[in-house]
Amino acid sequence: MTIRRGLLSDLFTGVVAKRLTLVETVTKKSNQHEFQGTKPFKALFGFDDQAGIPTRFVMLTGEQEGITEDGFVSWSNVRKGKPRAPEYHLYYSGNNVTEAMHVDDTMFLARRPNGSILVVIAPKESTLDAQLRWLFGLDYRPTPDEEFKDIAHDQAAELDFAARYILDELGIEIEEAEVDVLDAILAPLENKFPTTAAFSALARESLPDVNPLDSVDAALMAWLEREEAMFRRLERSIVSERLRTGFLSDEEADVDGFIDFSLSVQNRRKSRAGYSLEHHLGAIFAAHHLPFDRKPKTEGKAEPDFLFPGGKQYHDASFPSERLTLLGSKSTCKDRWRQVVLEGARVEKKHLITLEPSISEHQTNEMQAHKLQLILPKLLHATYKPAQQGWLMDLEGFVNLVRSRQAP
């Protein structure tokens, strides 16, 4: 489903977050497939019975992995017609997601404007848990057993870069605004993708008023957002054209052709974001006249994304190691930050830039323990817990650090 870019209330009317208990999960001891109808659920569903509400169940389990199932939930007063006080339960259909739920996982159950439900299961205190809490405006304190948030009338929760990042992980796409502007930019490409470097350059050229010498953080975000919008618009046009031609081979359904095309679309999406970030970072470093090498060899097969001032100095034993700076670039961090730690033995403290909002405290504490400094564009710092924000570095701070190390 796609919608216009706007507010979170365009997507959801309300959400319940709760820690799962033993009786709510599917185990040998419990197979009830239901949640107790407590106050937060009553605030979301009201007091009328509702059967067979279409529901999408999602569990993200790791790097580019996840489970998505379609099913239903039903809300009912199980004591209806009886003299005893009402007792509400929310029944859920069994599927691969609900089978994989664990005690203390966080369930986010959100209602869409069309009445359907999205259920997302996140491991306790995981990055996904933190991201969804930020997205829905829920408290950062240790999660209470249950919590309801009314979203329908929230006019402040805009779908900014961080929100769209999280929604994209959940498979919810936002329709891009200013399509006329995007179409004019993309027209010379004739409905074909150029190289990733050329595409990133086109995004920068389309924003002539953005100057990385004024603000590196603002420039990076502006370029990334423009390229993301361009990519989605061009991808939609190319996919639509391919779907119109159909998938037939000798008048029979070309299943293999359809699967190959689908995989090519997914792989392009996954790889493009990482290349985009690297291209724009390179343009920023060049604008600031910072000497660097991209993907030089250090030890063995290790090739860091950026090395300042370069590989030649790294392999020169007489060059002071304290003047070397190693930067990893991961648009989505997940657990891949560990790769950066191993990419340059001469650099004791390494740096990693990512676009991933709300990485869990557990992960950032591990990064600190491994002497890895996390960098995010300044705009994304607010998605992190207050205790984390003081440690984070923005891109301007990193540029200033490299400049100070390279000064004569």
Residues involved in catalysis: 314
Residue 111 · residue 151 · CB < 8 Å:
no
Q: Any residues with CB less than 8 A from the CB of 333 and at least 6 apart, and which?
A: 352, 354, 356, 359, 363
Q: How far is CA 62 from CA 37, 262, 272, 339, in A?
A: 31, 21, 19, 16
Distance CA 64, CA 339 (A): 16
* Token representation of residue 107: 């369930």
Place of tokens 């603002």: 218
The 10 Å Cβ neighbour count of residue 225 is 16
DSSP annotation string for 232-255: HHHHHHHHHHHHHH--EETTEE-H
Name the phi and psi angles at 26, rounded to 5: -95, 105
Long-range CB contact pairs, 64-70, < 8 A, 24+? 64/270, 64/334, 67/96, 67/97, 67/100, 68/97, 68/171, 69/95, 69/96, 69/97
Q: Give SS3 for 143.
A: coil
